[in-house]
């Protein structure tokens, strides 16, 4: 999906009201009746609302549904992007939009700048934009979802990710600083780094390996398992002066509690991902076995359990449940090895789920190699910024 902010400036106050009305109407209607849009926008009767709808539809921010029983529109991901950018701009979190630096299967990553010119990262969650291998039951779960519910799930993913980043940052974990969150998007600190995936040599693999295992254990000590702890979600940041490199952990929507019924399996998978990567890439294998889940969760200070804290705050139990159902149906692992998942019977059929995406979304998946290249510092420097 393209994120073209240029039209943002050409929308009139009325267009924004209409777009906001479509969003509000979407809470109860998959297809928001045109009369309701006019009513919510407070533009009853006039031709203004039709003009605005035409503008929004032309820009792909709202869309009709084929064979609908009544006249109405639904919000598209493009419309949701615009509403989010507008909110971020109004709250001074984001001033301009730069290059896209990542296309995950379930997210888009952009460099943005705040009003002082400081570069930040904007992550837009795009759940539902996935190709995956799974069983029939899960396919039905996905097929029956409307675009509105994809947007709901994307909002949950962003909300959850932001909530975890906040507590992790506060507790001194090496994660980007969370800056703002709205709808399916979040803004965070830009880590000037390379993903571990694109690093061919490290001066001291033993030391880095030790740090990563320590991080996995440290997370478990506060009740958490990352769930996608691998070379794609670890950014290696080098201090320009001391040359010391530090791993920074990103990507948290699949984070789970150490009390999850399959916690040990997920913990081991995180550990094994790193072991396998170090063995393949650096020819490094540790002499020490483990770390082991049972040891990691021994003597946990219950008052420091971040899984419990997050559940008690922004990210409610109902939200967690809705998102868990999705994770269990498809997994969030767009990057890790295709391991056997205890909750998913992996059958090779490569089913694509894209029917809920707008027609203009066809060019979104790109090759891994391209991603890596565009994630490099050079790509970030070669930036063109578009003021919102």
Yes or no: say if 49 and 35 are a contact pair by the CB < 8 Å rule: no
Site string for ligand ADP, 243-262 (x = CB under 6 A): -------xx-----------
Within residues 243-282, the interface with Mg ion by CB under 5 A covers 251
- Binder of residue 1, out of Mg ion, ligand ADP, none (CB less than 5 to 8 A by kind): none
* The binder of Mg ion chosen from 76, 233, 245, 254 (CB under 5 A): 233
**C-alpha span between 385 and 388 (Å, rounded):** 9
Query: Tokens 């009740």 appear where?
Result: 223
Within residues 313-352, the interface with ligand ADP by CB under 6 A covers 334-335
Element (H, E) at 386: strand 386-387
**Choosing from 15, 81, 108, 228, which is the catalytic residue?**
228
Q: How far is the CB of 197 from ligand ADP (least distance, A)?
A: 7
Query: Under the criterion CB under 6 A, does residue 233 sit at the interface with ligand ADP?
Result: yes
**C-alpha span between 268 and 29 (Å, rounded):** 43
- Tell me the chain's radius of gyration from C-alpha atoms: 22
> In the bound complex, which residue of the shown chain has the CB atom lying closest to Mg ion?
251
Q: Which residues, at least 6 apart from 80, have a Cβ–Cβ distance to it below 8 Å?
A: 23, 151, 183, 184
| Helix axes 34-41 and 13-26, enclosed angle (nearest 10) | 120
Yes or no: say if 249 and 281 are a contact pair by the CB < 8 Å rule: no
Query: Under the criterion CB under 6 A, does residue 102 sit at the interface with ligand ADP?
Result: yes
Q: How far is the CB of 198 from Mg ion (least distance, A)?
A: 13
Query: Tokens 């990262």 appear where?
Result: 121
Q: Which of 92, 159, 152 is nearest to 123 (CA)?
A: 159
Give the interface size with Mg ion as a residue count (CB under 5 A).
3
Does residue 295 carry a catalytic annotation? no
Query: Under the criterion CB under 6 A, does residue 227 sit at the interface with ligand ADP?
Result: no
Q: How far is the CB of 230 from ligand ADP (least distance, A)?
A: 10
Within residues 267-306, the interface with ligand ADP by CB under 6 A covers none
- Report the interface residues with ligand ADP, using CB under 6 A: 101-102, 104, 106-107, 109, 121, 123, 176, 188-191, 195, 232-233, 235, 250-251, 334-335, 375
Catalogue the active-site residues. Answer: 228
């Amino acid at each position: 999906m393209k994120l073209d902010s240029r039209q943002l400036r050409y929308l009139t106050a009325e267009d924004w009201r209409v777009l906001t009305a479509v969003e509000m109407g979407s809470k109860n209607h998959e297809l928001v009746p045109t009369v309701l849009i006019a009513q919510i926008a407070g533009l009853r009767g006039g031709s203004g609302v039709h003009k605005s709808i035409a503008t929004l539809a032309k820009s792909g921010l709202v869309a009709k549904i084929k064979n609908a029983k009544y006249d109405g529109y639904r919000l598209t991901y493009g419309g949701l992007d615009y509403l989010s950018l507008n909110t971020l701009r109004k709250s001074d979190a984001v001033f301009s939009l730069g290059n896209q630096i990542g296309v995950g299967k379930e997210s888009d990553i952009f460099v943005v700048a705040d009003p002082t010119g400081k570069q930040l990262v904007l992550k837009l969650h795009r759940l539902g934009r996935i190709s995956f291998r799974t069983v029939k039951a899960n396919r039905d779960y996905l097929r029956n979802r409307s675009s509105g519910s994809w947007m709901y799930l994307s909002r949950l993913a962003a909300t959850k990710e932001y909530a975890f980043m906040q507590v992790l940052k506060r507790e001194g974990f090496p994660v980007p600083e969370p800056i703002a969150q709205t709808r399916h998007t979040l803004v965070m600190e830009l880590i000037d780094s390379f993903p571990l995936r694109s690093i061919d040599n490290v001066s001291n693999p033993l030391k880095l390996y030790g740090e990563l295992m320590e991080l996995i254990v440290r997370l478990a000590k506060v009740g958490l398992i990352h769930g996608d702890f691998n070379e794609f979600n670890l950014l290696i940041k080098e201090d320009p002066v001391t040359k010391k490199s530090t791993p920074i952990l990103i990507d948290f929507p699949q984070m789970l509690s150490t009390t999850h019924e399959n916690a040990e399996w997920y913990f081991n998978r995180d550990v094994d991902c790193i072991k396998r990567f170090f063995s393949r890439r650096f020819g490094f294998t540790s002499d020490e076995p483990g770390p082991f889940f049972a040891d990691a969760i021994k003597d946990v200070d219950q008052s420091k359990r971040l899984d419990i804290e997050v559940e008690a705050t922004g990210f409610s139990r109902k939200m967690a449940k809705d998102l868990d159902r999705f994770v269990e149906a498809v997994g969030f692992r767009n990057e890790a090895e295709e391991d056997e998942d205890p909750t998913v019977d992996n059958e090779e059929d490569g089913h694509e789920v894209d029917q809920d995406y707008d027609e203009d979304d066809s060019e979104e998946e790109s090759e891994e190699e391209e991603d890596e290249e565009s994630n490099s510092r050079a790509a970030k420097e070669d930036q063109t910024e578009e003021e919102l």
